[in-house]
Amino acid sequence: MSRSPQLKAKDVYFVVYDTKVQKRRMVGSIKTMNGNLHSNGSIQNSNGLEEKLHDLRCLLGKADGDPLRIVGVGAGAWGSVFAALLQDSYGQFRDNVQIRIWRRPGRAVDRPTAEQLFEVINSREDVLRRLIRRCAYLKYVEARLGDRTLFADEILKDGFCLNMIDTPLCPLKVVTNLQEAVWDADIVVNGLPSTETHEVFEEISQYWKERITVPIILSLAKGIEAALEPVPHIITPTQMINRATGVPIENILYLGGPNIASEIYDKEYANARICGAEKWRKPLAKFLRQPHFIVWDNSDLVTHEVMGGLKNVYAIGAGMVAAHTNESATSKSVYFAHCTSEMIFITHLLAEEPEKLAGPLLADTYVTLLKGRNAWYGQMLAKGEISLEMGDSISGKGMIQGVSAVEAFYELLSQPSLNVLHPEENKPVAPVELCPILKTLYKILISREESSQAILQALRDENLNDPRERIEIAQSHAFYRPSLLQKP
C-alpha cells in the first residue's frame, strides 16, 4: 500500500471565535508532528488513521491504486454529519479513500433560511474565509438579498446541511445522480428515513445487477414500518435494504446511539453501537471510532434497530407535555415514568432477553426527549406553531420519524393474534391496551380524533395504576412474541 509523505513538524496557528459576543480570541499555536488540523477544530494523528484505513482496505481486498469508495445516501442531519466526520478524518488520504454523499437535486433554500445561513457564515470567520477562498461567498450575499435561489445540494458542497443550518460542516463531495454515486461503492451509508429506504434501494439494486463484489451497507435510519401479513411483524430499514437489493443480511449493519448530530460534529463526547455480523461490525467499529465518538459493537441487529425507532414515538408525547405544562419538571417526570414503563413492556414483547436493552434504550430516549427533533415536533404541535396538515417532513428539521413509528407500533400491537392475558381483568387483550400513551398518540397524530391536550389526560390514570405495575407485569408474564421480528 502506498503511504502518504511524512509531514514535518510545524506551527499550526488557529483561532476560536466566540459567536455569542463576536470576539476573536487567539488561543496560541500547537506543534504537531504527523497531524492535521480539521475544519471543526480537531487535530487527528494521521499515522493512526492511516493504519485503520489500511486494515479496512485489506479486509475488503482493495488493491494499490484502487481507492476505498464510501458513499452516503441521504443528506439529513445525521447522514451529513456522518459523511463529514469521515471526510475530516480520512479525506487527507485521497489516493486510498474516496468519500461522497448523494442527495436529490432541486430542493430550494427559502429566503428566511438563506438569511439565517448568511448570519451563520458571518459569525464564523473560519467559514467566511473558506467561502471567500472558494469564490463562493458572493452567492450567499445574493441569496440573502433575494437576488438568487440556493439549492440544498449546492450548499452541501460548501458544508451546510439544510436540516442543520447552524452547524457548518467541512465541504463535501456531493453527487446528485444516484447511479453515479453508488454503482462502484464499497461501503454505502444509509442516511435516509425509513419511509424512503425501500424505494431508493430498489432503484440502487438496478445499478448493482452487474456487480461482482458485494458492498457493505451501514444503515443510520431510525424508524420502522408495519406489515400485517402473513402475520403481524415489524420491517426495519436493514430488512428493507436486504429485500430491495438482495445484499446478504451479513453485509448490512445498523449504527445508532444516544446522540445529537450537531453536537457530535462539535466534538461533544458521544457513543454509538454498531450492530450486525461480527465479520464487519468489529472492523467498522474500529474504523469509525474517534476520541470523542466511541463506537461499541453488538450482534443483535434487528432488536437494537427497532429500539431506535421506539423512542421516537414517546419523544413526540414528551414535547407535547412540555408545551402544555409550561416546561413543568414534575409533569415531565410523570410522563417519563409512564412512557418508559410502556417501552419496557414493549421490549418484553420483542426480545427474549429484554433486560439487555434497558440501558441503551433509556439512554437513547433521554437524549431524544432533551433535544431531538421528535420532541421538538410534539412541542410545536402543542403550541400551534405547526399543524398536522404540514405532514411529517418539516422544513429545517427533515423527516419526523416518530409519526410513522406511532402508526406502525399501534397497528402491530392492536392485532388480536398478539393478545396477551390482562393480569387484572383475567381476559385476553391486544398489547396496545396496556399502552395508554401509545394509544393516545395514535388518536392525536394518526386518526386525529383527539387534540394534543389528550396527552395530559393519558397521564391522569383514573385507574390509579402505578407505572411500576406495568413493568412488574412485563417481567412476570411470558409476553415474548418472536413473530413480531419474524423470528421462529
Q: Hey, what's the cell of 158? A: 460548501
CA–CA separation, 26 vs 406, rounded Å? 49
Evaluate whether 252 touches 242 at the Cβ level (below 8 Å). yes
> Considering 62, 139, 222, 311, which one is annotated as catalytic?
311
The residue among 241, 394, 382, 409 whose CA lies nearest residue 319 is 382
For cell 502518504, name the residue. Answer: 4
Pairing of strands 428-429, 420-421: antiparallel
Establish whether 173 is a catalytic residue: no
Q: What are the phi and psi torsion angles at 273 (to 5°)?
A: -130, 125
Distance CA 131, CA 121 (A): 9
Listing DSSP states for 267-320 in one string gives: T--EEEEEES-HHHHHHHHHHH-BTTEEEEEES-HHHHHHHHHHHHHHHHHHHH
As a whole number of angstroms, the distance between CA 275 and CA 217 comes to: 12
CB within 8 Å of 215: residues ≥ 6 apart: 185, 186, 187, 188, 208, 247, 251
Active site residues: 311
